[in-house]
């Protein structure tokens, strides 16, 4: 598409909401992303008020780093009002103090302390499936483990994950309704976190290990954190930390359920579970797109992206770019290097990546060690949506070790 064409009204280079283009596992999606990368690397659609999509690895990585040109403040394409999440909606330098504090709670020693608990949560779900010989891996493992891990990491109390799972279930069907999603994110989740913040004010915890206490005790330019800001951080941590990890787990287990040879290779070589997890993340990016706004006109591949335009950084397509990855559609579990963008890139790269990686490693390790085989018992139900890539159900037939 030329810049002259771009200036015309009604230009649609692709229709990203078509069902065949919202499931990263389909040949149609693969073919469409390949077409965009080759023929239309800056693609425009009128949907959601109009936005542009960058699909090549080099462009997506560069835009992710360039926070001055591609500004955050609109993290999700499909939810136009979700601009209040901290720190994902902020840009440097405002973004920096929050990330600096948050990063301390994902340091290796805290992740190591969580491993035993996450192992218990994984074993609980796996045991449920092996005892029955079948079941839904999403319901038994993929959703409960991240919810329990988040509740433990946030120090919300032993049964807090039950409430969180109820909130996630309530939210799950509303990704196509931006107003409803806003309402849930900033009422249901905010209401939950507000109670925790009030409790931290009344009963301060050890800020060395309690992330919400650490946020409450921080100052930005000498200004103490307000309760509202602490709640916005908490909502972002829960919102970002559950669905993406649950989707990553479901996608990984789905791939293994279809490949008995791969299962056995990982059982025989557990040291390959970590690089295999990275390859699963590359192939099935749980958050395929993130949104940015341009702060100035951008000229890219012959297209003018006007100042103030919404731009989707298509991490899913970038992770399949044949110019970056050899044999990009193949699952090469020992791929090295594997510089995928599943966790984003640049200053807004996912702070919680260490926790997500820990959950992936623990769940896959325990699942493979405690089974002799597992396979599909039926077709899984996919999560549908431009910004989501996961499974709602994953029926398995499973045999214990």
Q: Which CATH class is domain 3-400?
A: mainly alpha
Mean pLDDT of 199-211: 96
The pLDDT-based confidence of 88 (bands split at 50, 70, 90) is: confident
Q: How far is CA 258 from CA 138, 181, 235, 242, 327, in A?
A: 16, 33, 35, 25, 20
Q: How confident is the model at residue 389 (pLDDT cuts 50, 70, 90)?
A: confident
Region 226-246 average pLDDT: 90
* Interval 84-109 mean pLDDT: 92
Looking at residues 97-118, what average pLDDT do you find? 96
Give the model confidence (pLDDT) of 139-180 as tens digits. Answer: 999 999 999 999 999 998 777 777 777 766 666 544 555 566
- Alpha-carbon distance values, 216 to 109, 118, 183, 202, 230 (Å): 22, 26, 24, 12, 6
Cα-flanking dihedrals φ and ψ of residue 396, to 5°? -125, 150
Is the predicted pLDDT of residue 399 greater than 90, yes or no? yes
What pLDDT, on a 0 to 100 scale, did the predictor assign at position 75? 52
pLDDT tens sequence across 276-315: 999 999 999 998 888 899 999 999 999 999 999 999 999 9
């Amino acid at each position: 598409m030329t810049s002259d064409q771009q200036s015309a009204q009604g230009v649609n280079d692709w229709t990203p909401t078509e069902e065949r283009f919202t499931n990263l596992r389909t040949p149609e999606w693969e073919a469409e992303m390949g077409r965009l990368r080759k023929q239309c690397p800056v693609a425009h659609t009128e949907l959601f008020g109009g936005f542009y999509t960058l699909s090549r690895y080099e462009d997506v990585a560069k835009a992710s780093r360039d926070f001055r040109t591609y500004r955050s403040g609109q993290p999700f394409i499909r939810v136009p009002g979700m601009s209040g999440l901290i720190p994902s909606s902020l840009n440097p330098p405002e973004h920096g103090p929050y990330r600096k504090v948050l990063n301390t709670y994902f340091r290796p020693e805290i992740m190591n302390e969580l491993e035993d608990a996450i192992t218990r949560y994984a074993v609980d779900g796996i045991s449920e499936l092996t005892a029955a010989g079948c079941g839904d891996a999403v319901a038994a493992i993929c959703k409960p483990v991240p919810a329990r891990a988040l509740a433990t990491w946030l120090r919300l109390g032993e049964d807090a994950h039950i409430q969180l799972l109820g909130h996630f279930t309530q939210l799950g069907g509303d990704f196509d309704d931006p107003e409803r999603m806003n309402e849930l994110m900033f009422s249901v989740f905010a209401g939950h976190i507000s109670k925790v913040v009030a409790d931290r004010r009344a009963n301060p915890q050890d800020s060395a290990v309690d992330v919400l206490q650490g946020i409450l005790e921080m100052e930005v330019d000498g200004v103490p954190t307000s309760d509202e800001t602490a709640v916005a951080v908490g909502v972002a941590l829960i919102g970002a930390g559950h669905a993406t990890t649950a989707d990553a787990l479901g996608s990984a287990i789905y791939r293994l359920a279809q490949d008995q040879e791969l299962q056995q290779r990982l059982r025989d070589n557990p040291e390959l579970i970590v690089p295999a997890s990275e390859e699963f993340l590359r192939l099935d990016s749980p958050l395929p797109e993130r949104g940015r706004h341009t702060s100035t006109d951008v000229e890219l591949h012959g297209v003018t992206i006007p100042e103030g335009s919404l731009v989707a950084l298509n991490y899913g397509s970038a992770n399949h770019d044949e110019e970056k990855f050899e044999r990009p559609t193949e699952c090469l579990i020992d791929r090295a290097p594997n510089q995928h963008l599943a966790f984003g890139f640049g200053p807004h790269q996912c702070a919680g990546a260490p926790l997500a990686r820990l959950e992936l490693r623990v769940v896959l390790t325990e699942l493979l060690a405690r089974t002799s085989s597992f396979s599909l018992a039926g077709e899984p139900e996919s999560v549908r949506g431009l910004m989501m890539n996961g499974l709602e159900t994953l029926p398995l037939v499973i045999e214990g070790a």
